[in-house]
Amino acid sequence: MAAPGALQPRLDRIVSIIAANMVAEVCSIYLSRAGDMLELFASEGLNPQAIHQTRLRFGEGLVGRIAALATPVSLSDAQKDPYFAYRPETGEEIYHAFMGVPIIRSNRVLGVVVVQNKAQRRYNEEEIEALQIVAMALAELVGSGDVVDPHELSGGPFVRGAPHFLEGLSLNEGIAEGVAVFHEAKVQITKFIAENPVDEKDRLHRALADLRQSIDDMLATVELKRGGEHRDILEAYRMFAHDRGWLQRIETVIESGLTAEAAVERVQLDNQARMAHVTDTYIAERLSDLDDLAHRLIRHLVGLPSTAAREHLPENAVLIAKTMGPAELLDYDRTLLRAVVLSEGTPSAHVSIVARALEIPMVGKLGEALNQIQPGDELIVDADNGQVHVNPGADIAQSYHETMAARLQRAAEYAAHKDLPAVTTDDIHVQLNINAGLTVDLPHLEETGADGIGLFRTEFQFLVGSKMPRLQEQMALYRDVITAAAGKPVVFRTLDIGGDKEVRFIASSREENPALGWRAIRVALDRPALLRYQVRALIQAAVGAELRVMFPMIADVSEFKMARDVVDREIQRLTRMGGAMPTSIQVGSMLEVPSLAWQLDTLLPLADFISIGSSDLLQFFFAFDRNNPALAGRYDIFAPSALSFIKSIIDKCDALETPVSLCGEMAGRPLVAMALIGLGLRSLSVPASAVGPIKTMIRSLDVGALKNYIATLLGSADHSVQGKLREFAQDHRVVL
């Protein structure tokens, strides 16, 4: 690429090198031209006469679809794909296997690089990654302007109103289309010096009273009356609004001679300055809530509408904001809101949690790129991939319309099959449960036809408050979950707090490796009152029903025995008091620390069930930080060593007749679920949205054939056998 000489020979040499190194019979480079067109610029393998003659619109054919959606595509038989567009001048009718990746620079799709083979083969993850790396290098060459004039590129320099896309972080999945509406315009404070501090304090108190009343009004709405974690968030938010320390600091500044609104702004700027160097994510997110309150209070003081929620919204509003508090999102009419796009935001922020509860697609972390959106712009928010398409062309819009229509159709098919059992073609039943942690998740039990809740995360109730929830508050939540389950089993995981899940009522110190630190059962055993009260609440909430409890992050049997002893003491206490009891109590352990796998002979006689926490287990097994972007995708459950390890756990549990399940989020991918079933697992707990796809996969699967095949892969020296399992699924018509 850096060699001297004319550009066309260099491109011709590049495709030849890529084809040779990837053992591909075809390598082609398509580059973006004016008018959302892709032109074939170089090819090894296709008819040379097609170069600079073959063109595809964005969204047209497989190449156009890659450019429109900015995502890779890999197919073993491209010609059977409904998006395949045949161009007779290329001579590509003899090629079946197809892999293409977008060439992206500065969030602009500049082209597509493709490899093809005659044989029907599946390109593996490493090959896709290799081609993506090549595309990154190509992007620098193409983006230099030496190949195509930058002003001609459809994804070239940003032009107001022109089609382009922005890339951020998915905060809540989904795809939506609508019109950009800005959450708020910045309030300009024009009067800073007060004439009478007493009058200014009176103005402050009146505005604060209005603010508090608006929060109370939100809490009184029908949607929030029924409770749940999003109500708990707003309760914590209300606590901020009643904080005397905050009010006193504002009053002190007013006494120095500033107006009420200037004083509120001054105090908030001071807060931001003090917190500017704090790296604690939890504190930063709470500061965002306080920013929200300050902005709302200033708006009350200057007499402006708080946000666009008070204005007339279009029926398909996409909300645009730098950041938001949870109360602000709840201000909006949910029936008019299609998606939210933020300059900042994190998945654990309160506003993200509320968005998930309300099923609103949300993309964050767009930074300054958000300035490229104007009020009234047409937007497609692809929160599955963390992308926002601004004023998309007709072809891109059509591609997304087809995707959304297909998704709705699949959802309807899954809903129609929700009452069918998850039984394989060779008559093996697999128990399908859902993971949950919010009360808003509970209706998914009925909607999906799941067998139960295999993992209910109890920690969120503790994360949103300034103090430990009272016994009655904990009992109320657990009783609601058990009632909603209507007799279906529910497995409650005790608190997994600490590490990166800090609570305000337990002092903690900064840890170098939070995932390996003071968290989960380690916190509970060091703070036994915390665990004892939670167990007491669980037992009393489950009176007349079955109770299943499991402990997280157990590293050795002694920890499980100590935790189980807390349960036994609480049972004895309630028995002495003559209290009513659950019909049965089962106590299990999470297996997410590898050391525990070597103590199964000792553990299993003591535990009623085992649940494999695959996310942490693989993180510790491979010694990699799963939150490190540099390691994303490097290790996975399809590694022969990981599959063998999990199989050894399943085999040991089966031998001692101890029920075993897996509740990691990754089991929500049908191919992963297929592999786990092939290893012998007969119980899975997955995100609610995955129940339909996985049940469809199960009902098309022959476990006998899979079991025999997967046994041949466990001794493989491959980094991953994902591609081979995908080929098995294709060959045996397993629906993925």
Is residue 350 flagged as an active site residue?
yes
Q: State in Å, rounded, how far the first CA of the chain is from the last one.
A: 39
Q: How would you class 731 by CB atoms within 10 Å of its CB: exposed for 0-12, middle for 13-18, buried for 19 or more?
A: exposed
Is residue 27 flagged as an active site residue?
no
> What token pair was written down for 639?
């590694």
Q: How far apart are CA 671 and CA 619, in angstroms?
A: 20
Q: How far apart are CA 633 and CA 257, in angstroms?
A: 57
Using an 8 Å Cβ cutoff, are 378 and 190 in contact? no
Do β-strands 26-33 and 108-117 pair in parallel, antiparallel, or remain unpaired?
A: antiparallel
Using an 8 Å Cβ cutoff, are 455 and 435 in contact? yes
Region of residue 486 (left: phi > 0; alpha: psi -120 to 50; beta: else): left
Q: The tokens 């995707």 sit on which residue?
A: 403
3-state secondary structure of 659: coil
Q: How far apart are CA 196 and CA 712, in angstroms?
A: 84
Q: How far apart are CA 526 and CA 436, in angstroms?
A: 26
Kindly name the residue from 183, 350, 389, 444 that is annotated as catalytic: 350
Q: How far apart are CA 367 and CA 345, in angstroms?
A: 10
Kindly name the residue from 230, 295, 653, 663 that is annotated as catalytic: 663
Q: At what angle do helices 722-731 and 670-678 cross, to 10 degrees?
A: 90
Q: How far apart are CA 119 and CA 659, in angstroms?
A: 44
Cβ neighbours, 10 Å, residue 252:
11
Closest-CA residue to 66 (of 37, 29, 116, 101): 101
Closest-CA residue to 589 (of 566, 557, 617): 557
Residues designated catalytic = 350, 663
